[in-house]
Chains A and B, each alone.
Chain A
Amino acid sequence: MTVSSYVLPTSVAEAVGLLQAHGSEILVLAGGTVAMPLVNEGVRLPARVMGLRRTGLDGIQTRDGGLRVGATTTLTALAAQDAVPLLATAARRTASWAVRNMATVGGNLFSAPRGGDVATALLALDAVVEATGPAGMRSIELDAFFTGPFTTALAPDELVTAIVVPAAAGATTFVKLGRRQANTPAVVTVAARLVARGGSVTDARLALGSAGPHPVRVAAAEAALVGRSLDDVSIADAAAAATDVAAPLSDAVASDWYRRRMVGVIVRRALEELVPAVAGRVA
């Protein structure tokens, strides 16, 4: 089957209208880095396709000390912003330059990849997904956005239109283990954000990528840190909690056995980076 129609809507309303008319029969492309390989390979043989490059959904705005990132903002643009260094790092550590010039922030949520390095960082930042459908816009906590392997809380006629990143207190870190330094899918990715007072952790976020069917926050690891100093003991407890919830899969990058082993290691390395900040030795 060949593609009979490729449409480039010029507004969100038009794009949502196409989703309403065609539902899951229409393939949605933003940057094309996830969907086009499936088309090229014949994994997807859509009759109808729509591209989002002309919807005007790109762009980053600062808002109340945080960010509102338009869905079709490229990873290159996200890597270039300096308001939220954790997001810039996560974007920069994803794929290659040419891919980052195409891949979009919204596409990486919409397509619900298993790894999702940017999504992992966004989880540590309490990000909220703005979804737009026929009834208008609604907000979905990113923590509740991924519902299973390649599935999301979006209705079939909804699009991700923006990601809102609130002003986030605390120190952040992003540690990704891959098979090589650059342009690698993750074995395991860890993003963490810790707020501390008087040498003790008062609030914690810890998110894992590639450690299950989709990026997740690990509440048990966060709970293991709150109210304690950040030291070998609390870090080991958090790493053990993260290892417990990890449900990694085997693929060409790593086996589930290796990923599970690495969850604890990478959580420990990530948290160790935050020791000086929590101890108050750096601003």
Chain B
Amino acid sequence: MGSSVVAFELGEREVEVLVAPLTTLQAVLRTQLGQTSVKDGCRQGGCGSCTVLVDGEPVLSCLLPVEDIAGRRVTTLESLTPVDGLHPVQRAFLERNGFQCGYCTPGMEMLAAAFLKRHPEPSRDEIVDILSGNVCRCTGYEPIVDAIAAAAEAGR
């Protein structure tokens, strides 16, 4: 009822989806486009596990009607990951054990990738501050901050 077709860019490709009114970008990415990195977390904008980039800016896909981003470019962890390896942020998370259960990891990595692009040499305090919207219930955050600091170091 009242469904419409929405076209946008997902990574390098054009996608078109048929959606009911007010369907969230999170639901479309995860259930229609197979982007299982985009978690269905709190649905309140409080946990950060659904973080993706729209035109390079981190947003919470659970709060974003997909109709709003027609024609824009969406980046998920799947589209950030090179075909033959890992993004530097992913490699740093792997090397520094920046996860345990992994649920928060895609959101953390999307945010970190966007952040490091703008601030290639962040202080530890800046990393801690920018992660404030992404909740991790396993690690106590220290290995995640370590991983982002290491990714910044590797990028220099």
**Given the complex of chains A and B, what is the CA–CA distance between A41 and B44 in angstroms?**
8
**Given the complex of chains A and B, what is the CA–CA distance between A95 and B44 in angstroms?**
12
The 11 listed contacts between A and B (C-beta, < 8 Å) are A2-B20, A3-B20, A3-B21, A6-B22, A29-B65, A32-B68, A36-B24, A98-B48, A98-B59, A101-B58, A183-B133
Find B22's partner among A31, A39, A99, A181 (CB 8 Å cutoff).
Answer: A39
Least distance between A232 CB and chain B CB atoms (Å): 32
CB-defined contacts of A3 to chain B, threshold 8 Å: 2, 20-22
Decide: B65 and A32 in contact? CB cutoff 8 A.
Answer: yes
**Given the complex of chains A and B, what is the CA–CA distance between A101 and B52 in angstroms?**
12
CB-defined contacts of A101 to chain B, threshold 8 Å: 57-59
Interface string of B40-78 (1 = CB under 8 A from A): 000111001001000001111011110110000000000
Q: Which of A2, A36, A51 has the most CB of B within 10 A?
A: A36
Decide: A51 and B65 in contact? CB cutoff 8 A.
Answer: yes
CB-defined contacts of B133 to chain A, threshold 8 Å: 95-99, 183
Known contacts A41-B44, A98-B133; decide if A49 and B63 are in contact (CB<8 Å).
Answer: no
**Nearest-CB residue, chain A, relative to B62:** A40
CB-defined contacts of A4 to chain B, threshold 8 Å: 1-2, 21
Dominant SS at the B interface?
mixed
**Given the complex of chains A and B, what is the CA–CA distance between A3 and B2 in angstroms?**
9
Known: A4-B2, A102-B63. 8 other contacts (CB 8 A): A4-B1, A4-B21, A6-B22, A40-B62, A49-B65, A97-B132, A98-B60, A183-B132
Decide: B48 and A96 in contact? CB cutoff 8 A.
Answer: yes
Least distance between B109 CB and chain A CB atoms (Å): 13
Interface residue range, chain B: 20 to 34
Is B84 on the interface with A (CB-CB < 8 A)? no
Is B104 on the interface with A (CB-CB < 8 A)? no
Least distance between B140 CB and chain A CB atoms (Å): 14
Find A40's partner among B43, B129, B130 (CB 8 Å cutoff).
Answer: B43
Is B111 on the interface with A (CB-CB < 8 A)? yes
Decide: A32 and B64 in contact? CB cutoff 8 A.
Answer: yes
CB-contacts of B104-156 with A (<8 A): 111, 115, 128-130, 132-134
Is A8 on the interface with B (CB-CB < 8 A)? yes
Decide: B132 and A96 in contact? CB cutoff 8 A.
Answer: yes
Is A37 on the interface with B (CB-CB < 8 A)? yes
CB-defined contacts of B59 to chain A, threshold 8 Å: 98, 101-102
Find B111's partner among A76, A98, A181, A183 (CB 8 Å cutoff).
Answer: A98
CB-contacts of A28-61 with B (<8 A): 29, 31-33, 36-37, 39-41, 49, 51, 53
CB-defined contacts of B128 to chain A, threshold 8 Å: 182
The 4 A-B residue pairs with the shortest CB-CB distance, nearest first, are: A96-B133, A183-B132, A6-B21, A182-B132
Is A24 on the interface with B (CB-CB < 8 A)? no
CB-defined contacts of A102 to chain B, threshold 8 Å: 45, 59-60, 63-64
CB-defined contacts of A49 to chain B, threshold 8 Å: 21-22, 65
Q: Which of A40, A95, A96, A98 has the most CB of B within 10 A?
A: A98
Least distance between A56 CB and chain B CB atoms (Å): 14
**Given the complex of chains A and B, what is the CA–CA distance between A29 and B48 in angstroms?**
20
CB-defined contacts of A51 to chain B, threshold 8 Å: 65, 67-68
**Given the complex of chains A and B, what is the CA–CA distance between A49 and B60 in angstroms?**
19
CB-defined contacts of A53 to chain B, threshold 8 Å: 68
Decide: A99 and B60 in contact? CB cutoff 8 A.
Answer: yes
**Given the complex of chains A and B, what is the CA–CA distance between A51 and B22 in angstroms?**
9
Least distance between B45 CB and chain A CB atoms (Å): 5
Is A81 on the interface with B (CB-CB < 8 A)? no
Decide: A98 and B58 in contact? CB cutoff 8 A.
Answer: yes
Decide: A37 and B22 in contact? CB cutoff 8 A.
Answer: no
CB-defined contacts of A182 to chain B, threshold 8 Å: 128-129, 132
CB-contacts of B14-54 with A (<8 A): 20-22, 24, 43-45, 48, 51
CB-contacts of A94-150 with B (<8 A): 95-99, 101-102
